[in-house]
């Protein structure tokens, strides 16, 4: 009976949705659900975020302020730090981080703490959905016991599901509502309810048999990318030793209309998924006494890329200026993990700064999306450092420029004409038609 009542509320768009975690995943969900006509409450522990959203202001650069202004003015959205308001929602979507520990083991503290925050306000007839990427079994084995400690029974009194986030920050072609949503529940009723909820505001739902299967889908997607990026990164190193341009190889190979999918090398992996998610599966596999050699090898190759880029930069300085890294002035271009966004999570640029400074270089950076480096868990030593203005005179004063992130806003013609050496880890210059002897691929 409760499931039928909730299903009717969802289908009639009378259901109120709570989104917990108003970051790169949660905020787009709020926008998509509200624009579809659902009433949404956004929850976050950061009061500065809730105040921004209630004032109609965006704090994520690739999410236009107009969208947030429309969200705030819709009458269907409010943001709060008051988690007691969870009792007012029919469905709660959990969108919190799932990082790794220093030992590359899953850190589920955000998920656990959020679930514990939900429990005191859990009521009969609610749907709880985890969106945070994690290992298969988390929804069933971690969330379910915490929520059932209230005395309510999963599948009878409340409903539990997993639907992995598939955000691609900064991609204008795929907003949250335009990306198909994989949905798996703990039981048929939970699956049906979660499927119906997402069907109200995404282009298509993809039901699977269980929450564990949905969790495995997300890991598979990102492991696929990690392994293929590792492959082209390894090919980059091999072909560079042979005097062959990996970028030219990929451009030619992708003309084959079948059997090939282009992936591109870089200075290392960044973002909230690909550098992290594969290790969730390698950790879980140990429980079954299974090794994940292929996945771990891909991780080792990708982790080694920042050191390879630094080695290429050191070699370029040795050969072209007869000056080592120690005492050199380096300008790093791009701090975000991918172009045209302000997302710094797991960015290889931070590792590059650390490696360069460990070898005695003085490093400045330029990034129009990140004017000041925020506090991060692993690179607190550079927090507060400010971006430099990117002028021809400033560029000419550095011993080398290292392109880590290929933002479109950079003036590549000016960089090529002004820099003594450009070490380009993204093929940013040549892909835009700028070629010169001072450019070194990395």
Which residues does residue 403 pair with via DSSP β-bridges, in sequence order? 333, 424
Q: What is the DSSP letter of 388?
A: P
With CA atoms as reference, report the closest residue to 21 among 76, 115, 97, 106. Answer: 97
Per the CB < 8 A criterion, the answer to whether 421 and 320 are in contact is yes
- For tokens 């009194």, name the residue: 157
SS3 333: strand
Alpha-carbon distances of 384 from 78, 213, 376, rounded to whole Å: 31, 42, 11
Per the CB < 8 A criterion, the answer to whether 89 and 18 are in contact is yes
- The token pair at 132 is 């945070």
| Alpha carbon 276 to chain centroid, angstroms | 10
Choose the catalytic residue: 52, 154, 273, 429.
273
Euclidean distance between CA atoms 99 and 102, whole angstroms? 10
Alpha-carbon distances of 161 from 118, 188, 214, rounded to whole Å: 15, 10, 9
SS3 362: strand
30 included as an active-site residue: no
Using a 10 angstrom Cβ sphere, with 0-12 exposed, 13-18 middle and 19 or more buried, the burial of residue 54 is middle
Collect contacts of 240-243 with beta carbons under 8 A, ≥24 apart. 240/312, 240/441
With CA atoms as reference, report the closest residue to 177 among 34, 78, 339, 72. Answer: 34
Using a 10 angstrom Cβ sphere, with 0-12 exposed, 13-18 middle and 19 or more buried, the burial of residue 137 is middle
Edge-first strand order for the sheet with 91-94 is: 77-80, 39-43, 16-20, 91-94, 127-130, 159-162, 181-185, 205-207
Euclidean distance between CA atoms 208 and 192, whole angstroms? 11
Euclidean distance between CA atoms 288 and 349, whole angstroms? 36
Edge-first strand order for the sheet with 422-424 is: 362-366, 329-333, 400-403, 422-424, 439-441
Active site residues: 273
């Amino acid at each position: 009976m409760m499931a039928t009542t909730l299903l009717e509320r969802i289908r009639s768009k009378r259901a109120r949705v709570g989104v917990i975690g108003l970051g790169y995943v949660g905020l787009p969900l709020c926008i998509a659900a509200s624009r579809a006509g659902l009433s949404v409450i956004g929850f976050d522990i950061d009061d500065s975020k809730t105040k921004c959203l209630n004032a109609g202001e965006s704090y994520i650069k690739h999410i236009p302020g107009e969208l947030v202004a429309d969200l705030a003015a819709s009458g269907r959205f409010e943001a709060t730090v008051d988690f007691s308001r969870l009792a007012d929602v029919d469905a709660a979507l959990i969108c919190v981080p799932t990082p790794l520990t220093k030992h590359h083991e899953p850190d589920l503290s955000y998920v656990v703490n959020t679930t514990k925050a939900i429990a005191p306000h859990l009521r009969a007839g609610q749907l709880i959905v985890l969106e945070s990427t994690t290992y298969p079994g988390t929804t069933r084995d971690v969330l379910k016991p915490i929520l059932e400690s209230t005395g309510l029974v999963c599948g009878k009194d409340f409903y539990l599901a997993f639907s992995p986030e598939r955000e691609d920050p900064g991609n204008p072609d795929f907003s949250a509502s335009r990306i198909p949503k994989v949905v798996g529940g703990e039981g048929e009723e939970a699956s049906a309810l979660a499927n119906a909820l997402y069907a109200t505001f995404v282009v298509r739902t993809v039901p699977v048999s269980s929450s564990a299967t949905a969790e495995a889908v997300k890991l598979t997607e990102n492991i696929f990318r990690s392994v293929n990026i590792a492959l082209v990164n390894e090919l980059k190193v091999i072909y560079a030793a042979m005097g062959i341009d990996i970028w030219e190889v990929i451009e030619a190979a992708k003309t084959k209309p079948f059997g090939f999918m282009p992936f591109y090398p870089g200075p290392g992996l960044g973002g909230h998924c690909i550098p992290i998610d594969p290790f969730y599966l390698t950790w879980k596999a140990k429980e079954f006494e299974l090794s994940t050699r292929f996945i771990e090898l891909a991780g080792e190759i990708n982790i080694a890329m920042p050191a390879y880029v630094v080695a290429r930069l050191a070699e370029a300085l040795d050969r072209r200026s007869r000056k080592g890294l120690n005492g050199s002035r380096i300008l790093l271009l791009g701090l975000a993990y991918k172009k045209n966004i302000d997302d710094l999570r797991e960015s290889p640029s931070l590792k590059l700064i650390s490696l360069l400074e460990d070898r005695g270089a003085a490093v400045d950076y330029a990034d129009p999306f990140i004017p000041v480096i925020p506090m991060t868990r692993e690179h607190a030593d550079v927090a507060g450092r400010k971006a430099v203005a990117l002028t021809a005179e400033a560029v000419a004063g550095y011993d080398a420029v290292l392109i880590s992130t290929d933002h479109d806003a950079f003036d590549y013609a000016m960089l090529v004409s002004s820099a003594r050496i450009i070490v380009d880890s993204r093929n940013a210059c040549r892909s835009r038609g700028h070629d010169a002897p001072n450019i070194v691929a990395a």
